[in-house]
Amino acid sequence: MRSILLICAAICMTMAVSAESRIEGCTVNLEKDSANGFGFVFISEFIEIGPNACSRAFSACEGIKVVQRDSYLYRCTKQQPIIIPPTPMRPSRPNITNCDYQIETPEGFTDHFFSADGPNACAKAKKKCDIGLLQQRIGAMIFGDAWCTKVFGPITNLPPRTREPVVVSVTCIVDLVAGRMSRPTGNFFTATAEGVTHGEARSWACQLAHDDCQAHVRGAMRCEERL
């Protein structure tokens, strides 16, 4: 009987891993308890695409939730993920032992530096940088274009090869405003995307954020991209 249970548990774990590998995109909403009997209300939206999209979207949402003074009133909820058929897995590459990401603007690098060590170091460092960049934007400490750039992270145990293009990650925020004076409604939409160039990544991220914002437009409301 115990053997049967172990086999069932292993099958369930395999199915869960397989399902996660099929997630192409994921949306997580930041919601706040209205404290007036109307339940939770929508505050913002976090979209991630690619592998582990839901995990990265949840991390971004939690990063904003924990810095709120009344964080106990907030929650992050996962929406219906975008699913596509699984693709054949490619052989994994050796892990990078350490990796550094830094926030960069058209004027150069800022003092915001993010590091990680051990397995999947670059993925961890990049996630820290993405969350840090989003917090800097929301806190109005960074204006205009800004993105996360890998500044250190050698790949070990691989023969010399042509250097691959640096993948740029860009976050775009779109505000839902009302009236001719662009009065803030308090709702904003966030999306992160990657590209070979900053312009390509920003265009894709802003398109995702605009699409989600437009779905909430009512009457004289409109969407404005935050610079």
pLDDT in tens, 155-173: 444 344 444 455 778 889 9
pLDDT digits (tens, 9 = 90+) for 66-112: 888 888 888 998 876 665 555 555 455 554 478 889 888 887 888 87
User: For residue 150, what pLDDT is reported?
Assistant: 86
Q: Name the residue among 83, 65, 82 with its Cα closest to residue 74.
A: 65
Position 81 scores a pLDDT of: 65
Segments of the chain assigned E as strands: 23-33, 40-49, 74-78, 82-83, 98-105, 108-117, 147-152, 168-178, 183-195, 221-225
Per-residue pLDDT at 7 exceeds 60: no
Residues 58-62: what's their mean pLDDT?
A: 89
196-226 residue pLDDT tens: 778 888 888 898 888 889 888 988 899 999 8
Task: Report pTM.
Answer: 0.34
Phi, psi of 11 (to 5 degrees): -65, -45
